[in-house]
Amino acid sequence: MKARVDKNICIGSAVCISIAPEVFELNDEGQAQVVNPDISDEDLLRNAAENCPVQAIILEDEQGNKIYP
């Protein structure tokens, strides 16, 4: 599973960073970005995605199919 952040939706709440600081950080624009795409902890990624207040974190399988949201 891979995570990506939709920059058109992200409001920079940083909830994802508090849940998974090894995966996400804020960029210079104050939006979340993935800094470690190789994390294999699916529960951690799903927790971060499900707790994003605007559902800006998209989870995809290895073939690029959207899993969440």
Q: Tens of pLDDT along 9-59?
A: 999 999 999 999 999 999 999 999 999 988 889 999 999 999 999 999 999
Which residues fall within 8 angstroms of residue 9, CB to CB, at 6 or more apart?
54, 55, 56
- Confidence band, pLDDT 50/70/90 cuts, at residue 69: very high
pLDDT at 42: 95
Give yes or no for a contact between 61 and 40, defined as CB atoms under 8 angstroms apart: no
pLDDT at 38: 86
Token pair for 18: 């508090």
pLDDT at 8: 97
Q: In this model, does residue 60 exceed pLDDT 90?
A: yes
Domains of the chain: 2-68 (3.30.70.20)
